[in-house]
């Protein structure tokens, strides 16, 4: 019987470094960078960067749940950005850089909410977590030059 792959979608600032972090995880079968959560059909990078479409830069992760759990993917998500800054990651400012979890199933929603609550309560972050947790909407794949951007430039092993 063939194993069914699952998808997870995360917004954690500029998608280049986030994608590289997920690609290093055993059990992650594939990644794609793109846009989700907005109102414009088939947005371009320029559209999203305008800040007017409502999209977030996201990474869509295809994974084998027998090799890596959704909880483990969430840990990578939390470890690779600051979930306490609204619409900002480092020098990148705008709603397209917001911290967001786009869940694909009710189980993912439950696990994501519990994970966020645990982190908010355990004091790991000094400020409240502002990460939005919303149902996955249409994923629009970004232009090809954005896919595996850091890998193509020999920077995929840098911690961004």
pLDDT in tens, 103-156: 999 999 999 999 999 999 998 899 999 999 999 999 999 887 778 766 666 665
pLDDT of residue 155: 60
Q: State which residues form the domain around 15.
A: 6-152
Positions annotated as catalytic residues are: 14
Q: Which of 13, 31, 12, 11 is nearest to 22 (CA)?
A: 31
Q: Which of 99, 79, 125 is nearest to 9 (CA)?
A: 99
Q: Considering the domain boundaries, does residue 120 fall inside one?
A: yes
Q: Considering the domain boundaries, does residue 33 fall inside one?
A: yes
Q: Could you give the number of structural domains in the chain?
A: 1
**Whole-model pTM above 0.85?**
yes
User: SS3 letters for 41-71?
Assistant: CCCCHHHHHCCCCCCEEEEEEEECCCCCCHH
pLDDT in tens, 81-108: 999 999 998 888 999 999 999 999 999 9
- What's the CATH number where 144 sits? 3.30.1060.10
Q: Considering the domain boundaries, does residue 98 fall inside one?
A: yes
């Amino acid at each position: 019987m063939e194993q069914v792959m699952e998808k997870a979608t995360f917004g954690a600032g500029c998608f280049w470094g986030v994608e590289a972090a997920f690609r290093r995880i055993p059990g992650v079968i594939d990644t794609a960078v793109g846009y989700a959560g907005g109102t414009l059909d088939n947005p371009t990078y320029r559209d999203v960067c305008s800040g007017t479409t409502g999209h977030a830069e996201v990474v869509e992760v295809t994974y084998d749940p027998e090799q890596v759990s959704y909880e483990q993917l969430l840990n990578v998500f939390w470890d690779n950005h600051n979930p306490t800054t609204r619409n900002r990651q480092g020098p990148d400012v705008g709603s397209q850089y917001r911290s967001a979890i786009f869940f694909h199933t009710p189980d993912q929603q439950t696990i994501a909410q519990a994970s966020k609550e645990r982190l908010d309560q355990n004091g790991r972050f000094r400020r409240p977590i502002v990460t939005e947790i919303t149902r996955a909407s249409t994923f629009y794949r970004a232009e090809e030059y954005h896919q595996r951007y850091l890998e193509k430039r020999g920077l995929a092993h840098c911690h961004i």
